[in-house]
Amino acid sequence: MSFNLSDIFKFPGGVHPPEHKVESTTQPIRTLPLPKKLVLPLRQHIGHIPKILVQVGDHVLKGQLLAEAHGHVSAAVHASTSGKVTAIDEQVIPHPSGLPDLCITLEADGKDEWLKHAPLDYLNMERSELIRRIAESGIVGLGGATFPTHVKLRPDAKHPVSTLILNGAECEPYITCDDLLMRERADEIVHGAMIMQMLLGSTECLIGLEDNKPEAVVAMNAAVAKANFNAKVVVVPTLYPSGDSRRLIALLTGKESPAKGRTTEIGVQCFNVATAQSLYRFIAHGETIVSRIVTLTGNVAQPGNYDALLGTSVRDLLQAAGGIRDNTDDYVMGGPMMGFSLPSVDVPMTKAMNCVIASTPDLFPPPPMEMPCIRCVACADACPVNLQPQELYWYSKSSNLEKAQEYQLFDCIECGCCSYVCPSHIPLVQYYRYAKSETIAQERAKRSADLARIRNDERLARIEREKLERAKKHAERTAKSENSGDNNEKKAAIEAAMARAKEQKETITPQNVENVSANVAAEIAAVDAARVQAAEKPE
Amino acid sequence: MKFSPFFTTNTSVSIVMLKVLLALVPGIIAYVWAFGSGIVVSLILASATALLAEAAVLQLRNRPVMPFLLDGSALVTAWLLALALPPIAPWWLVVVGTLIAIVIAKHLYGGLGQNPFNPAMVAYAALLISFPVIMTQWPVPLELTTIKLSFIEQWQYIFNHVLPSGVGFDAMSSATPLDYLKTQLKMHHTMEDIHQAKFFGMFAGKGAEIVASMYLLGGLYLLHQRIISWHIPVAFLTTLAVISGVFHWVNPAHFSAPLFHLLGGATMLCAFFIATDPVSGATTPKGKLIFAAGIAVLTWLIRTYGGYPDGVAFAVLLMNILVPLIDANTQPRVFGHSK
Ligand code: SF4
Ligand code: SF4
């Protein structure tokens, strides 16, 4: 099972930020006490909002389905403890926009009573049935991407998957939840991977870890050997962002996923280790996803990893980590390279929340004054996508959005390497987020303008048609008495109207808005708000 | 509200520029050793002028003065210009040159990061065209002369044009080897004869070749510090060596040897400090290779056939013009794209 270092490939660029992982790895994973109240946002994943199945006042059990996956890409939400649904309303969620979103609030009854659940007889199940069941599990990518897992496990005849990759690289500084999970629950991860292997029909399984996690490597190797699973644990050099799935795939296979396509086009599917573990818990025990492991670190009294119920407020989390220490002025969700400041400490923990860093002005000092770009291309040397950040900056700053797109703005993964190395302290990524959101907002504005024109054309046509119809009806009425075809006509009209409405709705949604980072989504919200304000302003 | 990344490396424009200045120090020490302390006077003059001019222009342009003054870029420009000028040039030449570099070549184009041309080279070229005689008079290497001016005497000469009694200007100045070579070749002397002249050292100008080696040393430090990448120095020096090597091999009597080109004139200064100016140079890896090779070809052409003794300044400026074109056509393949 050993792997030669020479078998490891490379990706361009990358940086070595200080790791700060030791702080949170001295203690084993601890379990949080049951909170009194849990708030479950419906949108904890990429994709459509799920359909709510409960009402205020309902008593629910732990693991019970509260909202079911709705649409092609969507994920279910479950009760993370037993108790009463006390509210279904909009609340502030952990999103950089700080905007509220629909949430289900549970009041815990303190019993933490599970819904009856049983292992799935997955070996004797139709594959499609199994996928359908997994769609009910609520499992999404737990590395932070939160893409619904069952969608990635669906068989795709056009792009068969030959290589399954488990991502245990965890390259962001401070975050250690996957490290601890691999150390303590390696067996479950490996069994999850075996189930994935079976579902995908892949023939090879590679598990990628950075070389700063020797304990996890040992544990994973042991688990692979114990399970007699034909997988390779591959240790890659510590280099941010090796944990980005496309970078990791390149490291392990030497293949580049097409920029505009999916990784399956090169026969690879990649999952986070925690996702595999959750899948195992669901298949082997029937447990839907109700908790996750979160790293609490930075300016807290007891940094470490905590197994916490989804919906627990960040305030409760930090309390459990011994509370915050003096001077804390900000809470960062995710790592320092790609994370964002939480809008409030009262937001709930979601499936995406792998880490919360209590920060102080010393820990993350405000950046020094922004200087002009000196074209030193330190940024280009650091970019893992091989972009030219200094050009993107130039075009983003001057709002030359077309040029920015020509320089592949949308290939930027917002990893922050460029900002990290820039001697002029230019917040480059922030410029790209702005340019991306502005592009999307403009596209959307253009589409709705087109739509308005179409609507107007339709209205004129309708008026014309109605005039004709009235004339016709008038003529008919004079010929003979009324008949009862009216009802059908109405139905048809309603159907047509509905079809039209549906069509319109589809045209409004711009394509890439679903897959942008949370930070960009926040920017879009800001841009939209500004637009609304501008529109409301009297001339 | 702060945004990710929440921390950055401990670097700044000032640190980058400081390292460049540091890398020039060995060359300056060798310079003093070989030609006397006149260069120190020029460096001080240029630095003071540059800082004052920078501060004044920033004030006029309503920009924050201190952060930009401390970024060190004006000092780098000043030092490069001073090192390119003859060290026995009168004070006003240094001052005028520095003003041209800072006020016209840098700030009229928008200041730090905006100048399409290398400011030091703009100033150098302007001076060369305006004052060709002064610009081609270089001090005789100390090794070859009994006249050793003290720092004070240098100072007096530079400011008042007064030499100690009994010392004539001709005794302490001469043409540069590059210049001499060209005139002699025109007079149909062979290379071998020309190299007998006393100011030729092992490979190039006596003393100058030591200074050049020290620039090389400083350049290696910059490479090690990742302030510059290998592309420009390597492409520049290799191209220059190959092109001069081929011609030298074909007709050694008429064309100088590669080492003469590499260690002579401003070659090493150009390879590591001038052509590598990030602001006015090409940025893509392939672009840097083309940019530097272009400078080498032009340098060799001007040195061999042109009317000026050294071609580095004009070569750099000409290639500066092409930078946008080069960059646009040498974009590297983006990850996950087929080309
Ligand atoms: S690192 Fe900063 S200063 Fe250097 S080229 Fe990139 S954006 Fe410009
Ligand atoms: S943030 Fe974008 S441009 Fe900057 S290094 Fe990462 S991928 Fe490249």
Q: Where are the domains of chain A?
A: 5-341, 368-483, 485-527
Ligand nearest to the CA of A15: 2
For residues B137 and B197, state if they share a domain: no
Residue B5 lies inside a defined structural domain of this protein: no
Give DSSP secondary structure letters for A18-43.
Answer: ----GGGSSS--EEPPPPSEEEEES-
- CATH topology classification for A368-483: Fumarate Reductase Iron-sulfur Protein; Chain B, domain 2 (1.10.1060)
Domain contains B299: yes
Nearest to A207 by CA among A155, A199, A194: A194
Q: How many domains does chain B have?
A: 2
Q: Which residue's C-alpha comes closest to atom 2 of ligand 1?
A: A422
pLDDT at A506 over 60: no
Helix, strand, coil percent values for chain B (each to nearest 5): 65, 0, 35
Residue A83 structure tokens = 């108790």
- What local confidence, expressed as pLDDT, does residue A492 receive? 64
Which of B226, B3, B334, B271 is closest to A378 using CA atoms?
B226
Residues in chain A with CB shorter than 8 Å from the CB of B333 are: 386
Under 8 Å CB-to-CB from A479, ≥6 apart: which residues? none
Cis peptide leading into residue B5 (ω within 30°) = yes
In this structure, of A14-28, A32-46, B75-89, B190-204, the range with the lowest mean pLDDT score is: B190-204
Q: What is the spatial distance between Cα A527 and Cα A518, in angstroms, rounded to a whole number?
A: 14
What is the average pLDDT score of chain A?
A: 87
Q: Give the pLDDT band of residue A272 (cuts 50, 70, 90).
A: very high
Give, for ligand 2, the residue of A172, A395, A428 to mutate: max count of ligand atoms closer than 8 Å to Cβ. Answer: A428
Residues of A whose CB is below 8 A from B9: 15, 420-421
Residues of chain A with pLDDT > 90, as a percent, come to 64
Residues B242 and B203 grouped into a single domain: yes
Q: What is the rounded CA–CA span in Å between residue B58 and residue A347? A: 47
Pair (B166, B242) in one structural domain: no
* Contacts of B298 by beta carbon, 8 Å cutoff, 6+ apart: B311, B314, B315, B318, B319
Q: How far is the CA of A139 from the centre of ligand 2 (A)?
A: 29
B137 and B18 co-located in one domain = yes
Among B133, B157, B174, residue at a domain's last position = B174
Separation of alpha carbons A16 and B278, rounded Å: 24
pLDDT of A508 = 42
Q: What is the CA radius of gyration of chain B?
A: 21
Q: Who wins on pLDDT, B172 or A293?
A: A293
**How confident is the model at residue B181, as a pLDDT?**
65
Residue B84 lies in a domain: yes
Taking CA atoms, A12 is separated from A119, A241, A374, B332, in Å, by 44, 10, 22, 11
> What is the residue-wise DSSP string for A91-138?
EE-SSTT--EEEEEEEEE-S--PBPP-----GGGS-HHHHHHHHHTTT
Q: What's the confidence (pLDDT) of residue A466?
A: 81
Among A163-177, A454-468, B177-191, top mean pLDDT goes to A163-177
pLDDT in the model for residue A484: 46
Confidence of residue A123 (pLDDT cuts 50, 70, 90): confident
* The pLDDT value given to residue B167: 63
Instruction: Dig out the tokens for B262 from the structure.
Output: 């590499």
| Residues B266 and B118 both lie in one domain | no
| Torsion (CA) A351, A353, A354, A357 in degrees, nearest 10 | -170
Nearest chain A Cα distance for residue B336, angstroms: 4
Segment A97-114, tens digit of pLDDT: 888 999 999 999 999 999
Distance CA A28, CA A47 (A): 34
The answer to whether residue B339 sits within a structural domain is no
Looking at the structure, tell me whether residues B103 and B208 fall in a common domain: no
Q: How far apart are CA B20 and CA B24, in angstroms?
A: 7
A160-169, A399-408, A442-451, A475-484: which range is least confident on average?
A: A475-484
Residue A357 has pLDDT above 80, yes or no: yes
Asked whether residue B58 is domain-assigned, the answer is: yes
What are residue A100's DSSP bridge partners? Answer: A92
B194 plus B137 within the same structural domain: no
User: According to the CATH classification, is domain A5-341 in 3.60.21.10?
Assistant: no
Q: Is the peptide bond before B177 cis (omega within 30 degrees of 0)?
A: no
pLDDT confidence bin for A469, thresholds 50/70/90: confident
CA atoms of A445 and A152, how far apart (whole Å)? 32
User: What is the A317 CA–ligand 2 centroid distance (Å)?
Assistant: 32
Q: How far apart are the first and last CA of chain B?
A: 39
Q: Is the Cβ atom of A1 under 6 angstroms away from ligand 1?
A: no
On whether both B169 and B36 belong to a single domain, the answer is yes
The interface pTM score, or ipTM, of the predicted complex is: 0.88
**B154 with B38, same domain?**
yes
CA torsion sign for B95, B98, B102, B108 is positive
Residue B337 lies in a domain: no
Q: How far is the CA of A167 from the centre of ligand 2 (A)?
A: 21
Please check whether residues B276 and B153 belong to one and the same domain: no
Average pLDDT over residues A8-16: 90
Q: Please compute Rg for chain A using Cα positions.
A: 26
User: Residue B55: which domain range?
Assistant: 12-174
Indicate if B92 and B136 belong to the same structural domain: yes
Are residue B157 and residue B39 in the same domain, yes or no? yes
A5-341 shares its CATH topology with A368-483 = no
Nearest CA to ligand 2 atom 5: A383
How confident is the prediction along chain B (339 residues), in pLDDT tens digits per residue?
A: 578 899 888 899 999 999 999 999 999 999 998 888 888 989 999 999 999 999 999 999 998 888 898 899 999 999 999 999 988 788 899 999 999 999 999 999 999 999 999 999 999 999 999 998 888 777 767 666 666 667 777 777 777 776 666 666 665 566 666 666 666 666 666 666 666 665 566 555 667 888 999 999 999 999 999 999 999 999 999 999 999 999 999 988 788 888 888 888 789 999 999 999 999 999 999 999 999 999 999 999 998 888 777 789 999 999 999 999 999 999 999 999 987
DSSP 8-state symbol, A160: -
Question: 3-class SS at A356?
Answer: strand
Alpha-carbon distance of B198 to B142, in angstroms, equals 12
Q: Give domain status of residue B141, yes or no.
A: yes
Which of B174, B189, B210 terminates a domain? The answer is: B174
CB of residue A490 inside a 6 A radius of ligand 1: no
**Inter-CA distances, B57 with A257, B60, B102, Å:** 50, 5, 9
Q: Which of B134, B149, B174 finishes a domain? A: B174
Helices (H), A480-513: 486-508
